[in-house]
Amino acid sequence: MSQRYYTVTWDQLHRDGKALAWKLLSLGPWIGIVAITRGGLIPAAIVARELDCRVIETVSVITYEEEARGEPRLTKPPAAAGTGAEWLIVDDLVDTGTTAKVVRALLPEAHFATIYAKPAGKPLVDTFVTEVSQDTWILFPWDTEPQFTPPIAKVRNGVA
């Protein structure tokens, strides 16, 4: 199975973050949001604005080094979320579910929301906006720079 890349622009991320907030609006109110760093920081800020939530906590779990997966390492637990009751966890993506499992164990009563979900991790989240295939690597705007990309047909035919 070859890996695919899907580029998300700032505008698209904002629209998708707002769509996530719409889905979450009737499920609150929330005491606060726990953003999973680093990818969940910007989606959490968008969701917090839309839900008028001023309390944001963070949790840091290192799972990836660039595109390579490693063993998850909790580097910063959330300071004030208790068991997670009435808290909202926000991340950009659930992939294999490795990070989600670590955070779920820390905050078992929290509501877990992501913008994007892959099939392997989807059962671990409560709310998401868009499902993508397991072999898709999402290129978020904070990880990329605008540059020329050859047409898909040329890449496929080995011309580019």
What is the CA 154 to chain-centroid distance, rounded?
31
Active site residue 143: no
Find, among 124, 132, 54, the residue nearest to 44 by Cα.
54
Q: Which of 95, 126, 135, 143 is catalytic?
A: 95
Active-site residue flag, 52: no
Catalytic residue among 11, 16, 52, 92: 92
Catalytic residue among 16, 52, 91, 126: 91
135 has catalytic annotation = no
Rg of the chain in Å (alpha carbons): 16
Give the C-alpha separation, 154 to 104, whole Å.
43
Neighbours of 13 (CB within 10 A): 19
Q: How many CB atoms are located within 10 Å of the residue 5 CB?
A: 10
Active site residues: 91-92, 95
